């Protein structure tokens, strides 16, 4: 049985989604992001889940974002897939 140790999150500025990601340590990850990204807050999405389920969510969430924003990824996600 896989461990449910992965968090899903978005970095936001107000209601605007700037970044979509997953982590097993939200506090550490937020501090890492604050070193090189400007955003208002980190929003944890749902409950902890398995790494596999979180990776699926991340891909789907970025895909939905792109569908709703003319093919553009969230502004702070780096590559074409948005990850």
Residues 32/25, Cβ–Cβ less than 8 Å: no
pLDDT in tens, 8-61: 999 999 999 999 999 999 999 999 999 999 999 999 999 999 999 999 999 999
User: pTM for the full model?
Assistant: 0.92
Q: What is the CA radius of gyration of the chain?
A: 12
What pLDDT shows up at residue 22? Answer: 97
For residues 53 and 5, give the distance between their C-alpha atoms in angstroms, rounded to a whole number. 11
How would you class 29 by CB atoms within 10 Å of its CB: exposed for 0-12, middle for 13-18, buried for 19 or more? middle
Query: pLDDT-derived band of residue 2, with 50, 70 and 90 as boundaries?
Result: confident
Exposure class string for 59-74: b at 16+ Cβ within 10 A, else e: eebbeebbeeeeeebb
């Amino acid at each position: 049985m896989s461990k449910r140790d992965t968090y899903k999150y978005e970095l936001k500025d107000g209601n605007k989604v700037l970044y979509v990601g997953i982590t097993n340590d939200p506090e550490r990850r937020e501090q890492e992001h604050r070193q090189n990204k400007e955003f208002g807050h980190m929003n944890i999405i749902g409950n902890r889940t398995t790494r596999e389920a979180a990776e699926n969510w991340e891909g789907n969430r970025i895909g939905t974002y792109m569908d709703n924003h003319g093919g553009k990824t969230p502004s702070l996600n780096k590559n074409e897939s948005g990850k």
